[in-house]
Chain A
Amino acid sequence: MKKMKNFYAIIVACVIVLLPVFVHAEVSQPGQTEETETTKSLSAGEEAVSGEPAEEGVGEEVVPLDPLESWNRVIFVFNDRVYFWVMKPLAKGYNAVFPEPVRVSVQNFFHNIATPIRFVNCLLQLKFESAGIELARFGLNSTAGFGGFFDVAKNNLKLQSQEKDLGLTLGHYGVGTGPYIIWPFLGPSTLRDTVGLVGDGFLSPLNYVTPWEDAFALDATQYFNYASLHIGEYEELKESSIEPYVALRDAYLQHRQSRLKK
Chain B
Amino acid sequence: MVCVVLAAPCLLLAKAAQSPSEVIEKFNGALLEAMKKGQELGYEGRYKLLQPVIMNTFAFPYMASVCAGRYWKTFDEKQRSRMLDTYIDWTIATYAGRFNDYSGEKFEMGKVETGQGIVTVVSRLIHGNDVTEFDYRLRNLGGTWRIVDIQVSGVSQLALTRAQFVSVIKDKGYDGLLVMLKDKIRRFSRGEEG
Chain A residues with a Cβ under 8 A of chain B: 41-42, 44-45, 47-49, 52-53, 55-59, 61, 64, 100, 104, 236, 239-243, 246-247, 249-251, 254-255, 257-259, 261
Contacts and interface: CB of A to CB of B under 8 A. Distances in A.
Given A61-B70, A243-B167, A49 B62 contact: yes
Contact of A240 (B61, B94, B116, B153): B94
Residue among B62, B70, B72, B115 with most chain A CB within 10 A: B70
Q: Is the interface of A mostly helix, strand, loop or mixed?
A: helix
A44 B164 contact: no
19 contacts: A41-B70, A42-B70, A44-B66, A44-B72, A45-B66, A47-B73, A53-B117, A56-B115, A58-B149, A58-B156, A58-B159, A100-B128, A239-B193, A242-B168, A242-B181, A243-B180, A250-B159, A251-B155, A258-B153
Given A48-B65, A250-B163, A57 B70 contact: no
Contacts of B69: 41-42, 44, 47-48, 61
B46 interface: no
B157 to A, nearest CB: 8
B158 interface: yes
A241 B153 contact: no
A64 B194 CA distance: 29
Nearest to B155: A254
Contact of A49 (B65, B154, B163): B65
Interface in B65-80: 65-66, 68-70, 72-73
A48 to B, nearest CB: 3
B166 interface: yes
A55 B135 CA distance: 14
A64 B167 CA distance: 11
Interface string B92-110: 0010011000000000000
Contacts of A251: 155, 160
Contact of B137 (A56, A246, A261): A56
Interface in B124-176: 128-129, 137, 148-149, 151, 153-156, 158-160, 162-168
B162 A61 contact: yes
Contacts of B37: none
Contacts of A57: 118, 137, 149, 151, 156, 159
A56 B153 CA distance: 16
A258 B168 CA distance: 25
Contacts of B148: 55
B184 interface: yes
A229 B153 CA distance: 17
Contact of A242 (B98, B154, B184): B184
B159 A59 contact: yes
A48 B156 contact: no
B154 to A, nearest CB: 2
Of the candidates A49, A100, A261, the one having the most CB atoms from chain B within 10 angstroms of its own CB is A49
A242 B158 CA distance: 13
Given A240-B94, A240-B98, A257-B154, 9 more contacts: A42-B69, A47-B73, A52-B62, A61-B162, A104-B129, A246-B163, A247-B160, A250-B159, A255-B153
Contacts of A249: 163
Nearest to B180: A242
